[in-house]
A and B are shown apart, each in its own frame.
Chain A
Amino acid sequence: MSIMEKIQNIDRRWIYLLAWVAVLSPLLNPLGLPVTIGRDSTRYYNYITDVPDGSTIMVTFDYGISAMPELYPLTIATFHQLWSRDFKVVVIATWNQGPMVMDVVLGELNPAVRYGKVYGEDWIELGWVPQSETGMAALGTDIWGTKPVDYIENRQTSSFPIMQNIKTAEDIDLLISFETGTPGLPEWVRQWNVPYGTPIIMGCIGVMVPEVAPYLQTGQLGALIPGLTASAEYELLLKRPALAIAGVDAISMSHLLIIVLVIIGNIAYFMTRGKGGS
């Protein structure tokens, strides 16, 4: 077996090791590579910036713990932007681990102390809405009935000052969804955007981006943060570099590794192709 054939059939564990080194080394020793701010993060940032003060924004956790490495930095950055303004924020989850992720967000941001936000007046968490699309439809029709009690204080939803004028999807000025799959954007579009005209913006994991792209072109999705790189750009727009920026060097190095490996693999392939190689 020639060297080129050996290169093509290299043990995958060596590739795992290279990937591990490529991801870990910049995390331990940040390279500080520059980040170019793109159109997606700018559109998302501007979309929230342009929402008038006093508007009601619903944030939905359509992801669980496993997606936290990619979506958590964006979630934190978005809540920072929301709580820095005078919005009424209603938090829900269509994934059952969503409220647990929100607990972590609360532990990190502490809205009462850092932003002076009062629970029940400036924001509220209604918890998990089960049964995916059916739950979304029910929530759109009757928020009080679908979530009769809140998640944090276990009190009647209708008893909170913030909820007095929030009863259906028509009372929500913007829906922000963080998601990894189903239920997610297509369901929100069907149950909220089409019947009630609720504007939607979202952040999602990288592999979902092609799937949701058509909704961006039709205008049913107002803005999209596609993965961690765009989250890092969004953090820069907020002038608040944090978790996503820290991960961008690792993304750069791992992507670079893939490019180098693919080039090497193809060189080896073409050099052995005419010699009966694999």
Chain B
Amino acid sequence: MSDVFRRIEIPIAITIVCTLLQIIPFYVNIQPLASTADTFRSWMILVATCATFVGAISLTLYNVKAIQRRSEDWYYSILVIVFMLAILLFGLPIPEAGLGDQNPQFSFLFVNILTPLGSTMYSIIAFFITSAAYRTFRARNIEAAIVLVSGILMICKNAPVMTTFWGPFVDIGDWIFDVPNMATMRAVIIGTALGAIALAVRTLMGMERGYLRGGGEE
């Protein structure tokens, strides 16, 4: 009996049913199908919410193992676990016990640790971009020169000090944005969409099995 449930056709059949259930109501208005599709979407949200706990458990296990094995930089794992537990404890949605997002300790951790860390991680990109621009923006050939000039003009358009110095930087930047950029991005979006359709068709036909047991072609 257990072999029946291990058959690969079962998850493929579930995938096909779920996919068709979402696609058909988009094109055809059949009320029972539409409400079933709504129910399935609600189930998916519940499943995803439960997966949050899987993430927390997985993170804990990974870091506990790192501490046990004294892996490289293992002491950072202690910080991860301590802060995860602290945020979890103070953020528990039990306002009667003084916990939750209005808890002062939770707010302190969020405002004074999480926010500056997140902002720093994002802002540090500015240093990498400056260094990368210096090293790679070289007019080595015609194509590179076009990219270089376009990039510089867009930088000028986005820097108020430059647009104030010479107003037409705005118009030139807008033209680059509206014409070459728009055309290229449309091609990228349409190409991606065609690829997604091809992937969906392969999945519906049971030919795409990358999401099953680690993958593998038919």
Q: Would you call B101 and A254 a contact (CB within 8 A)?
A: no
With A66-B121, A255-B158 as given contacts, are A103 and B101 in contact (CB-CB < 8 Å)? yes
Shortest CB-to-CB span from B79 to chain A, Å, is 18
Is B186's beta carbon under 8 Å from chain A? yes
Which of B26, B122, B139, B162 has the most chain A CB atoms closer than 10 A to its own CB? B122
Q: Would you call B42 and A146 a contact (CB within 8 A)?
A: yes
* Chain B residue at minimum C-beta to C-beta distance from A103: B101
Is A259's beta carbon under 8 Å from chain B? yes
Is A222's beta carbon under 8 Å from chain B? no
Which chain B residues border A265 with CB–CB below 8 Å? 134-135, 137-138
Shortest CB-to-CB span from B148 to chain A, Å, is 7
Contact for A251 among B26, B107, B159, B177, CB less than 8 A: B159
* Chain A residue at minimum C-beta to C-beta distance from B124: A16
Shortest CB-to-CB span from A166 to chain B, Å, is 17
Contact flags (1/0) for A243-278 with B, using CB distance below 8 Å? 000001001111111110110111001100000000
Shortest CB-to-CB span from A203 to chain B, Å, is 15
Secondary structure class of chain A's binding surface, majority of residues:
helix
Is A171's beta carbon under 8 Å from chain B? no
Contact for B44 among A134, A217, A258, CB less than 8 A: A134
Is A206's beta carbon under 8 Å from chain B? yes
Which chain A residues border B189 with CB–CB below 8 Å? 186, 214
Is A219's beta carbon under 8 Å from chain B? no
Is A28's beta carbon under 8 Å from chain B? no
Q: Would you call A65 and B114 a contact (CB within 8 A)?
A: yes
Is B104's beta carbon under 8 Å from chain A? no
Secondary structure class of chain B's binding surface, majority of residues:
helix
With A214-B185, A254-B126, A266-B138 as given contacts, are A65 and B118 in contact (CB-CB < 8 Å)? yes
Q: Would you call A258 and B130 a contact (CB within 8 A)?
A: yes
CA distance A260 to B117 in the complex (A): 30
Is B80's beta carbon under 8 Å from chain A? no
Q: Would you call B158 and A251 a contact (CB within 8 A)?
A: yes
Contact for B155 among A15, A103, A259, CB less than 8 A: A259
Which chain B residues border A269 with CB–CB below 8 Å? 138-140
Question: Which residues of chain A in 118-161 are interfacial with respect to chain B, using CB atoms and an 8 Å cutoff?
Answer: 129-131, 134-135, 137-138, 141-142, 145-146, 154
Shortest CB-to-CB span from A97 to chain B, Å, is 8
The 7 closest A-B pairs by CB, nearest first: A65-B118, A255-B159, A252-B161, A66-B118, A131-B48, A138-B41, A66-B122
Q: Give residues in B with beta carbon < 8 Å to A.
A: 26, 38, 41-42, 44-45, 48-49, 52, 93, 95, 101, 107, 110-111, 114-115, 118-119, 121-123, 126-127, 129-131, 133-135, 137-140, 148, 152, 155-156, 158-164, 167, 170, 174, 177-178, 181-182, 184-186, 189
Could you give 27 example pairs across A and B, Cβ below 8 Å? A12-B131, A19-B130, A19-B131, A34-B160, A36-B167, A36-B170, A39-B174, A67-B122, A68-B122, A100-B114, A104-B115, A129-B45, A130-B52, A134-B41, A134-B48, A135-B45, A142-B38, A210-B184, A214-B186, A217-B178, A229-B158, A258-B130, A258-B134, A258-B155, A262-B137, A264-B134, A270-B139
